[in-house]
Amino acid sequence: MPVRVRFAPSPTGYLHVGGARTALFNWLFARHEGGEFHLRIENTDTSREVAEAVGQIQETLRWLGLDLDGEVTIQLDRMERAQEVGQQLVAEGKAYEDEGAIRFRMPNEGVTVWEDVVLGRIEYPNEKLEDLVLVRSDGRPTYNFVSPLEDVLDGITHVIRAQDHVSNTPKQLQILKALGAELPVYAHVPLLNGADGRKLSKRHGALTVEEFRAEGYIPEAFVNFLALLGWSYDDHTEIMSRKELVERFTLERVGKSAAIFDYDKLRHLNGVYLRALPPDEYADRLVAYLRERGYDWDEQRIREAAPLVQEKIATLGEFPDFAGFLFARPEPAATDGAVLPAAAETLEQVEPFEAERIEAALRDLAERLGLKPRDAFQPIRLAVTGSPVSPGLFESLELLGKEESLVRMGGTGRGGASGSSAR
RNA sequence: GCCCCCGUCGACUAGCGGCCUAGGUCACGGCCCUUUCAAGGCCGUAGCACGGGUUCGAAUCCCGUCGGGGGCACCA
């Protein structure tokens, strides 16, 4: 039987990183096995918000590169089918009417056992199982009823979900047994926690995949990072392409304990991926990102700036702060502008105005003035970029052009040696 | 309260009885390189929760304690 898995989020809004990780593990498993990956929306109402959330979830999965098989199924569409099955269970004496609702008869003794691919053998005492409502008095089926029912209807072979579902599993197993259905294999993947070890929440930072996207993380890096949360290939391999992840992913190597979402490591990985991109593709991504974020900066200029920042920033979102001075005059920064007049005079003579010549001229100047390179260049950087941190100075000057560079240097230079005044 | 699960450096993890003086990565510290910031190179700090067993031998197996998480709905 071919493998078929499903990712079944509830449509409460944008996809959370925890959900994304669960979706990724499902997808990796399906692709590794040559099986199918389906999306099922577990809703109990059909509000407009739900429709929007479904769209957002699909867009996020698309961005992550987790392609779907088959049609997206909506839980509520199965409502009537679930009611019929509920009635059938009543007829068989496996469930009973209770004030208009249908309630399932749970066994009172014995244990429900399953072999969890991640957790191992789990035994759950049946006496702890309460008779649960299958269909509410208003006719809507409950989650613990439809979810396993749909798994049967959809031919789901492996249920890969987060560990907060562990205690639902014995209930669902009992229902499946009553239905006479073939049982799927269960794999409960560890949860994702925030820095304090507690539930991941807003105060820990970004939470939805869309937020990370907005901050300039790229999907390859994000997927690689997510894969490493609760799964590992061996004792040293970390950077893996999507293809390699698919080849190497197995549920057997998924860990049991909850992981903490490490923003530092994500950022590092993103930097690794960004630096590894071919220059022209890096520029493409940067342009696309800035457009997405609403920047109307000149595309040609962005492309020219790309090589100056590729080695230096770890997320595309850092570009505006880091290289924004190339697109608009920065606020003048406080600096000791003593060298500025001489530097301006020197640069005036540089022709053509190219990084290599600029560097040679300025180094020569520094030497004549008896200044360390850093002492000579930093005031220029401050004047031209408006910041003590910037892309390479000489390349930046070249990009800006002689005229604009001199204007910026002159603007601060007039302040004289004190240079502490902004004007 | 009851039930289930988990427990290796600050973080992600490797480890499935001897290869462990516990390995890799991020973060952190130092040095080098250097026009700033990064990147890169070298070095370093730091961990098997605790207590009992089992065994010639335990991070690895068993029991207990402690700690953490999840769940106990006509929510999903």
Q: Quickly count: other Cβ atoms within 10 Å of residue A114's Cβ.
A: 19
Angle between helices A355-369 and A373-385 (to 10 degrees): 130
Q: Is the pLDDT of residue A342 over 70?
A: yes
Distance A319 CA to B54 C1' (A): 60
* A170 against A195, higher pLDDT: A170
* Token code pair at residue A391: 């892309």
Vertex A233, ends A169 and A14: CA angle to 5°?
A: 55
Distance A225 CA to B23 C1' (A): 20
Q: What is the pLDDT of residue A243?
A: 98
Distance A93 CA to B73 C1' (A): 23
- Local confidence band at A411 (pLDDT 50, 70, 90 cut-offs): low
Strand B within 7 A of A83 CB? no
Task: Give residue for tokens 């779907």.
Answer: A68
- Local confidence band at A272 (pLDDT 50, 70, 90 cut-offs): very high
Give which of A258, A197, A250, A252 is closest to A230, Cα–Cα: A258
Chain B nucleotides near the protein (CB, 7 A): 2-8, 10-15, 23-27, 34-40, 68-76
**pTM for this predicted structure:** 0.94
Could you give the percent of chain A with pLDDT greater than 70?
96
- Local confidence band at A303 (pLDDT 50, 70, 90 cut-offs): very high
Which sequence positions of A are flagged as catalytic? 202
Report the nucleotide nearest the CA of residue A225, measured to C1'. Answer: B12
CB A358 within 8 A of CB A394: yes
Strand B within 7 A of A262 CB? yes
Q: Is the pLDDT of residue A159 over 70?
A: yes
Strand B within 7 A of A118 CB? no
Q: What is the pLDDT of residue A413?
A: 39
How much is the mean pLDDT over chain A? Answer: 93
Strand B within 7 A of A76 CB? no
pLDDT tens sequence across A291-300: 999 999 999 9
Report the nucleotide nearest the CA of residue A375, measured to C1'. Answer: B35
Instruction: Report d(CA A257, CA A192) in Å as an integer.
Output: 9
Report the nucleotide nearest the CA of residue A125, measured to C1'. Answer: B3
Mean pLDDT of A64-86: 94
Starting from the edge strand earliest in sequence, which strands make up the sheet with A73-74, in order? A73-74, A36-41, A4-7, A158-162, A185-189
User: Which ipTM score applies to this complex?
Assistant: 0.96
Q: What is the pLDDT of residue A421?
A: 35
Strand B within 7 A of A233 CB? no
